[in-house]
Amino acid sequence: MKKQKEHMRHAIPVSKGQTYELRVERLGTSGEGVGRYENFTVFVPNALPGETVSVIIEEVKNSYARGRIKEILRASCDRIIPICEIYEDCGGCQLQHLSYEAQLDVKRAQVVDALIHIGKLPQIPVRETLRAEQPWNYRNKMQFPIGIHKGKIVVGCFAQGSHTIINTENCHIQRAENNDLANAAREIAEQLHIPVYNEDTHKGVLRHIVGRVGRSNDLMAVIVTATKRLPRAKDFVRMLRERLPNLVGVHQNIQTYRNNVIMGRDTSLLWGRPTIIDSLGRLNFHISPRSFFQVNTQQAQRLYEQALSYADLHGTETVIDAYCGTGTITLFLAQRARKVYGIEIVQPAILDARKNARDNHVKNAEFIVGDATAVMPALYKQGIRPDVVVVDPPRAGCTETVLRTFANMKPQRIVYVSCNPATLARDLAILNELGYETQEVQPVDLFPQTSHVECLTKIVRRDLL
């Protein structure tokens, strides 16, 4: 064993602190360049495919190394100058140095690569990435941590891979109203001398500032505190209202736990309206501080319209939405289906979904709290036979049990919405074995300037083809 370890150590061709020249072949899932030196993988942030770079190695593992660019020896023709002044330090975006057209190509390539290498499904057609008409200032939700740097309060994004807060005055992917809120909160916290939370000592008050922007540019502010009491709360609210003309509501959320979860369970309204309203097509949604709602409203609408197209509904179908959240996709589907069942394990989300259905006068959607693996067989026993199943799971994708549950109900079509090409590819391979053929994948750019890509997938029962 000792000789084997020594052999592995000697087989690694790079050393920490040394400089090497390599060619970048592709981008990794986090937007970093991936190249090889003597057939050994090296990850290089800010490097682009096709570039030749001189790299200083900063970390070495048995199967890969990480380095930073010392010099770009041959630049990609797709490389551009980032518009953000703090881009190289901030971890919020990963692709500002890549032209937008090339970002779309890279995201499609990421999906194709996952289907080929993880799913072993090279034959599946992957459409061009659905571009965003507004690739800047699109985020309707902001969650910025609050900290101290050199005695001053800082509000902004975390640096890549760390808990160092980068003071952010103008985030170029945030809506302008959110940037205004972040800057106002920083100034007011300084003026009122409100203690900032320290995650090492677990002392202090202010943890995060959260902003949400609605349909008419209405702004909601959520002050996240580590204590039940917010010192000088009335002054904080008054000063926010003086600075922010679009502000319609201010909440306090209490997060007392020693963890990285941004918001706690308890929220109180300090002033104004309890919700803001945003729209997707003809549907309106009341958004509270903890409601789930896609952060890119315009692209979310296009995503759901494509999901509706893949579902191919004619008004007679029964549909199951297996991870329905607050019911956004469910209500979209209900516009063209006979009946839609939304299933979600998180009870507050179901309560929001039922309220959204009432507010939009949707009467053919039923929302059920529970695990899809238990609820769906129960529905089947009741005689419910879905024509279409829609699934939008978290990044971890679906368990094989969930996928088998879908297949056992024998829907004609499955529409799979995914935020992770790797788990999507894995799950499509399982569905392929269970008698379902993937007809095409549509990548959608919900998060321009970042490495994330959303996918919609049309899947049909093979015996119907």
Distance in angstroms (rounded) separating the CA atoms of residues 327 and 342: 7
Secondary-structure percent of the chain, ordered helix, strand, coil, rounded to 5: 25, 30, 40
How far lies 396's CA from each of 83, 270, 385, 418, 437, in Å?
33, 36, 27, 10, 21
Strand partners of residue 219: 213, 247
Of 16, 112, 211, whose CA–CA distance to 453 is shortest? 112
Instruction: Establish whether 180 is an annotated binding residue.
Output: no
Instruction: Establish whether 89 is an annotated binding residue.
Output: no
Structure tokens at 154: 């800082």
Contact 92, 159 (CB under 8 A): no
Distance in angstroms (rounded) separating the CA atoms of residues 157 and 142: 10
Instruction: Establish whether 392 is an annotated binding residue.
Output: yes
Catalytic residue selected from 157, 171, 398, 419: 419
Of 21, 55, 54, 26, whose CA–CA distance to 38 is shortest? 21
Distance in angstroms (rounded) separating the CA atoms of residues 343 and 320: 8
Distance in angstroms (rounded) separating the CA atoms of residues 439 and 419: 19
The secondary structure of 134-166, three-state, reads CCCCCECEEEEEEEEECCEEEEEEEECCCCCEE
Instruction: Establish whether 323 is an annotated binding residue.
Output: yes
Distance in angstroms (rounded) separating the CA atoms of residues 182 and 171: 10
| Residue 448 CA, distance from chain mean position | 11
Give the neighbor-by-neighbor strand order of the sheet with 454-461: 365-369, 339-344, 318-321, 388-391, 413-418, 454-461, 436-444
Torsion angle of C-alpha atoms 275, 138, 167, 196, degrees rounded to 10:
10
In the residue annotation, 419 being an active-site residue is answered as yes
Q: Which residues are annotated as a binding site for S-adenosyl-L-methionine?
A: 294, 323, 344, 392
Residues with catalytic annotation?
419
